[in-house]
Amino acid sequence: MTSPSSPPDRDKVVSKLTPWLRQELKIRTAQLRVDIQDAVHQGIADWSSLASAPAPVDTSGAESFSTWLPAGQWDAFRADAKHRGVSLIQGLAQSVQLWLEKNPAPSVQRPSVVRRIVVCNQKGGVGKTAITAGTGEALAEDPNTLHPVRIARQLALQNEDDPAVDREDLPGLGLRVLLVDFDPQGHLTKQLGHDPLPIGGDSLTRHMAGEGSGPLQDLVVSIEDERFGDRLHLLPSCTDAFLLDVRLSTVRAREAALERALAPLESEYDVILVDCPPSLGLSMDAAIYYGRRRPAEQPGASGALIVVQAEDSSADAYDLLTSQINDLRDDLSLDIDYLGLVVNLYDGRRGFIATSSLQAWMDIKDPRVVAIVPDLKEQREAVRVKQPLFVYAPKGDQAVVLRALAREIS
């Protein structure tokens, strides 16, 4: 039947489809960026062109399902189903199943060079750790499951009721991610429910100083949850990193120390995120150097992701950090890309200082603001119970925004 508000030359049809087929259809069309109505149209067309009906599909528990089809297709399909002696519900299930078989899920696109994201700011307390963890979690989510992502027509702080903001269910990115806790305080390690490495044992610091006692891979732990599969791993911190700058002062080519240490792990991952300490010392030089653009790597694939807050002290710290990055660029002739600014823990209710500071960040065009993450209780609660944010509150506003950030910098 045709609805007055139907798309041109299409009829609205109502039948029934099993929940599992409906869910698979929804996921696959999202993965392939295809409209559901186009998928059903093609499935029915392919089904009708078969010499005979395929094997029956279990339709128990079928529920109401509606879509839009080209004018006349449903009537022709009804006639074909009657001729083949199958019900409309069975014929539709076979058509959807046929489309799924002909259109398999795409494989995850893996970078030819491991991407290295250095999450940094000289100022402490801006939430670098939360952004590192959340971005990594978003990058590693199950590609065969849909997750809510916040989509805005233009980047600005918006209310949930703002028509310029929408939530779209999209498949996870399914990348293999390593989170590196490069901060001796170990907040990333503790937030994700693990213990820092013991003093006196093997650690990233020892490997950077050329004193590792075993493979660095042996120190890596998995972040266990079905939404991540075995794709999200953590290299825990050790408090010996407080002495890293002193130890690096005696290391030859110290800027490359982090790269030398992590090189044996790189083939196992698509993305490595480094949670940096609030420091401008030699360890920060090593982190920035690690994020430089490598030969044959596309601009913007790796680089510095700078986390700030909408207040004045963040601006002062930002100036110090960018000066250090620019000095390294000039002194060592490096290509170091900015991946963007993340304005974290934003709350417009704090008044003029917050809103005017946000505008000042938005006015910077290089690097530009790539995400505005609200200050909400979910992150603090996740930290308290030592769970990843995407496990504790996967549909919360912070997770939804961080998924958009992961796609913005992918």
Pick the residue with more confidence: 180 or 244? Answer: 180
Q: Give mean pLDDT, residues 155-180.
A: 75
What values do phi and psi take at 155, rounded to 5?
-80, 110
pLDDT at residue 24, as a whole number: 96
Q: Which residues contact 183 (CB under 8 A, 6 or more apart)?
A: 128, 129, 237, 241, 275, 276, 277, 278
Please state the pTM of the whole predicted model: 0.89
Relative to beta strand 165-171, strand 146-152 is antiparallel
Helix (H) or strand (E) holding 340: strand 338-346
Pick the residue with more confidence: 347 or 9? Answer: 347
Q: Residue 340 above 50 pLDDT? A: yes
From the number of C-beta atoms within 10 Å of its C-beta (0-12, 13-18, 19+), residue 186 rates as buried
Q: Give mean pLDDT, residues 110-138.
A: 94
pLDDT at residue 396, as a whole number: 94
pLDDT at residue 81, as a whole number: 94
Relative to beta strand 232-235, strand 271-275 is unpaired
Percent of the chain with pLDDT over 70: 95
Q: Which residues contact 84 (CB under 8 A, 6 or more apart)?
A: 52, 53, 91
Q: How confident is the model at residue 310 (pLDDT cuts 50, 70, 90)?
A: confident
Q: Which residues contact 96 (CB under 8 A, 6 or more apart)?
A: 17, 21, 25, 39, 40, 43
Report pLDDT digits (tens) over 153-164.
555 544 444 544
Q: Give mean pLDDT, residues 78-92.
A: 95
CATH number, domain 115-408: 3.40.50.300
Strands annotated E in 196-237: 221-222, 232-235
The mean pLDDT of the chain is 91
Question: Cα(377)–Cα(71) distance, rounded to whole angstroms?
Answer: 50
Query: Concatenated DSSP letters for 274-325?
Result: EE--S--SHHHHHHHHHTSPPTTPPTTSSEEEEEE-SSHHHHHHHHHHHHHH
Report pLDDT digits (tens) over 282-308.
999 999 999 999 998 999 999 999 999
* Every domain of the chain and the residues it spans: 10-102, 115-408
Q: Give mean pLDDT, residues 354-366.
A: 92
Pick the residue with more confidence: 7 or 368? Answer: 368
pLDDT at residue 122, as a whole number: 84
Q: How confident is the model at residue 165 (pLDDT cuts 50, 70, 90)?
A: low
pLDDT at residue 327, as a whole number: 93
Q: Residue 333 above 90 pLDDT? A: yes
Inter-residue contact 188 to 237 (CB < 8 Å): yes
Q: Residue 73 above 50 pLDDT? A: yes
How many CB atoms are located within 10 Å of the residue 298 CB?
A: 12
From the number of C-beta atoms within 10 Å of its C-beta (0-12, 13-18, 19+), residue 407 rates as middle
pLDDT at residue 7, as a whole number: 62
Q: Give mean pLDDT, residues 96-113.
A: 93
Percent of the chain with pLDDT over 90: 79
Q: Residue 376 above 50 pLDDT? A: yes
Name the residue with tokens 């809510």: 148
